[in-house]
């Protein structure tokens, strides 16, 4: 069964659960069962200024169960075949944390965030807000906001209206889809004379209504030239596009500076001047120029970009040719400093690695000298390596014919190491195998040959 779930929490130092609501529904989005709880957070969380009360009095939270009791009640309420759908990925992530914190044996059920599914039907939205989607679908929003019970009720209505299937496929209602496509084609019509659907054998004028039934705006494409549109396609019998269309219609060509603002002459004033700036999303917000990292000149979403918009659209990663950076933005200086710090850290690590390798080689030369000395004395011992575990101690690892710790039987070796490191504590360590048995010289050399 599908379970629609919503959580609210406070983040005063750490995230603490305050509300939890879940609704078990059928595949036709009919309510089957419901689970609602309030949780009692810490005193610091209750005094948090941004506490999502959801219309409840604070006394209700003080009388509620603890976070652990609420989570365990939910675990007991859930059925083995339940699949949990939340609205945002943050809700799913927080529920996983709570589950791992209080339940060690039973695995967490599958979790899906519905914002990604809804985003497929709203291509211009990266992660649509629940209240924005409810308003777009003409569903009366429930109040107060930030109340989990209201959120799951609105989620159920959205899933029902958008005909979301259990395999998480969503689509806009037919009339809304036509209106959405109409607005998209109007935007495209400012740059293209002809439009057509991907994979369709027919092309149309940009004013033709035949494209309004497209399942997604991502299927709608366009062309300036008749020859390009007519390649492997025939003209629409409804709008009858002709060759003269491209010469009679004036195109709206993007101008490189169309999205920029006029700023004062002084460099310092330019950086701090506040202007009502049009963003990539179409919104107008007051921004300082140093907070505008660049501009996009693409005809579909021409406007300014902030740091968050730049990262969400991945303009730099895609090497977008329509992006123009604003060198006055402090973002680029911070990016340059970050790259320099990263390169300096890499150089430091390379230097430390080279120094460690040099010390290792020098120590190995000393070990070889000790080995030659022991061979000249006729003492049967094989020195493997030596290492300084700290500045005040040296450990020499060896194997011998004996199957016990016989480091005290080699005073000549101990004296040689002490002469080389007079201020260090010397330890002679007989090497053991994986089961804790002391290795002989033959066993150690055989293990080395097998490893090679």
d(CA 292, CA 269): 14
Q: Does one domain contain both 100 and 233?
A: no
152 domain-assigned: yes
Q: For the chain, what is the total number of helices (H) and then of strands (E)?
A: 15, 17
* 3-class SS shares of the chain: helix, strand, coil, % to 5: 40, 20, 40
Domain boundary among 215, 248, 281: 248
pLDDT at 303: 87
Tell me if 286 sits within 8 A of 305, measured CB to CB: no
pLDDT at 439: 92
Q: What is the DSSP letter of 433?
A: -
pLDDT at 440: 92
pLDDT at 22: 95
Q: Does one domain contain both 155 and 216?
A: no
262 domain-assigned: no
Integer-rounded Cα Rg, in Å, for the chain is 35
Tell me if 4 sits within 8 A of 25, measured CB to CB: yes
Q: Does one domain contain both 32 and 109?
A: yes
pLDDT at 187: 58
Q: Does one domain contain both 240 and 272?
A: no
> To which residue do tokens 């209504």 refer?
209
Collapsing DSSP to helix, strand or coil, 392 comes out as coil
- Boundaries of domain holding 135: 2-161
Category of 2 on φ-ψ map: left (φ > 0), alpha (ψ -120 to 50) or beta: beta
Q: Does one domain contain both 307 and 415?
A: no
d(CA 441, CA 399): 5
Collapsing DSSP to helix, strand or coil, 33 comes out as strand
349 domain-assigned: no
17 domain-assigned: yes
pLDDT at 310: 87
Q: Does one domain contain both 28 and 108?
A: yes
> To which residue do tokens 């859930």 refer?
78
Structural tokens at position 307: 């740091």
Cis bond before residue 331 (omega within 30° of 0): no
Q: Does one domain contain both 132 and 186?
A: no
Q: Do strands 284-288 and 274-278 pair parallel, antiparallel, or not at all (unpaired)?
A: antiparallel
Tell me if 48 sits within 8 A of 58, measured CB to CB: no
Q: Is 424 exposed, middle or buried (0-12, 13-18, 19+ CB in 10 A)?
A: middle
| Cβ neighbours, 10 Å, residue 151 | 26
336 domain-assigned: no
Structural tokens at position 76: 């007991």
Structural tokens at position 311: 């990262």
260 domain-assigned: no
Mean pLDDT by 10 residues, the chain (452 residues): 89 83 89 92 75 80 90 91 88 90 86 74 58 79 86 88 65 55 62 78 81 64 79 85 55 41 54 79 81 84 86 81 84 89 93 91 91 91 90 92 89 90 91 90 90 76
Domain boundary among 217, 248, 279: 248
CATH code at 92?
A: 3.30.420.10
Q: Does one domain contain both 107 and 157?
A: yes
CATH code at 404?
A: 3.30.300
d(CA 181, CA 177): 6
Q: What is the DSSP letter of 397?
A: E
d(CA 387, CA 394): 6
Q: Does one domain contain both 97 and 64?
A: yes
Q: Does one domain contain both 181 and 286?
A: no
Domain boundary among 309, 328, 347: 328
233 domain-assigned: yes
> To which residue do tokens 């040719």 refer?
321
Tell me if 9 sits within 8 A of 16, measured CB to CB: yes
Structural tokens at position 63: 């009388």
Q: Strands of 194-197's sheet, edge to edge?
A: 220-223, 194-197, 202-205, 234-235
Between helix 89-102 and helix 67-77 the angle, nearest 10°, is 100
Collapsing DSSP to helix, strand or coil, 76 comes out as helix
Q: Does one domain contain both 145 and 17?
A: yes
339 domain-assigned: no
d(CA 279, CA 285): 7
The full 3-state SS of 176-228, as one line of letters, equals HHHHHHHHHHHHHHCCCCEEEECCCCEEEECCCCHHHHCCCHHHEEEECCHHH
**For the chain, what is the domain count?**
4
Q: Does one domain contain both 15 and 108?
A: yes
């Amino acid at each position: 069964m599908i379970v629609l779930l919503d959580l609210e929490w406070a983040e005063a130092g750490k995230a603490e659960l305050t509300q939890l609501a879940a609704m078990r529904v059928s595949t036709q989005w009919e309510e089957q069962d419901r689970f609602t709880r309030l949780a009692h957070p810490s005193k610091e969380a209750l005094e948090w200024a941004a506490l999502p009360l959801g219309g409840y009095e604070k006394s209700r939270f003080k009388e509620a169960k603890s976070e652990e009791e609420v989570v365990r009640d939910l675990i007991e309420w859930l059925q083995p075949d339940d699949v949990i759908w939340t609205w945002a990925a943050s809700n799913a992530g927080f529920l996983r944390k709570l589950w791992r914190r209080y339940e060690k044996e039973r695995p967490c059920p599958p979790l899906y965030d519905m914002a990604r599914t809804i985003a497929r039907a709203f291509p211009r939205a990266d992660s649509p807000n629940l209240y924005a989607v409810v308003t777009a679908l003409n569903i009366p929003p429930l109040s107060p906001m930030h109340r989990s019970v209201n959120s799951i009720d609105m989620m159920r209505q959205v899933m029902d209206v958008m005909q979301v299937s259990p395999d998480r496929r969503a689509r806009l209602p037919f009339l809304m889809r036509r209106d959405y496509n109409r607005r998209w084609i109007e935007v495209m019509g400012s740059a293209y004379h002809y439009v057509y659907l991907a994979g369709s054998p027919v092309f149309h004028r940009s004013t033709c209504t035949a494209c309004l039934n497209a399942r997604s705006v991502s299927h709608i494409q366009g062309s300036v030239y008749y020859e390009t549109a007519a390649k492997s396609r025939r003209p629409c019998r409804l709008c009858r596009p002709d060759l003269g269309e491209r010469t009679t219609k004036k195109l709206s060509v993007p101008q490189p500076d169309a999205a920029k603002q006029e700023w004062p002459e002084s460099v310092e004033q330019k950086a701090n001047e506040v202007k009502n700036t049009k963003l990539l999303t179409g919104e107008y917000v007051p921004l300082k120029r140093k907070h505008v990292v660049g501009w996009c000149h693409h005809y579909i979403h021409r406007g300014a970009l902030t740091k968050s918009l730049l990262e969400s659209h991945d303009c730099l990663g895609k090497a977008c040719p329509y992006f123009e950076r604003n060198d006055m933005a402090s973002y680029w200086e911070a990016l340059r400093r970050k790259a320099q710090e990263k390169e300096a850290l890499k150089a430091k690590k390379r230097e430390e690695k080279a120094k460690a390798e040099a010390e290792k080689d020098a120590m190995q030369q000393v070990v070889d000298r000790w080995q030659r000395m022991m061979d000249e004395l006729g003492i049967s011992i094989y020195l493997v390596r030596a290492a300084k575990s700290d500045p005040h101690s040296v450990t020499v690892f060896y194997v011998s014919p004996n199957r016990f710790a016989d480091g005290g039987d080699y005073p000549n070796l101990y004296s040689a190491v002490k002469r080389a490191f007079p201020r260090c504590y010397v330890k002679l360590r007989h090497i053991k195998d994986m089961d804790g048995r002391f290795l002989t010289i033959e066993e150690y050399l055989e293990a080395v040959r097998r490893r090679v």
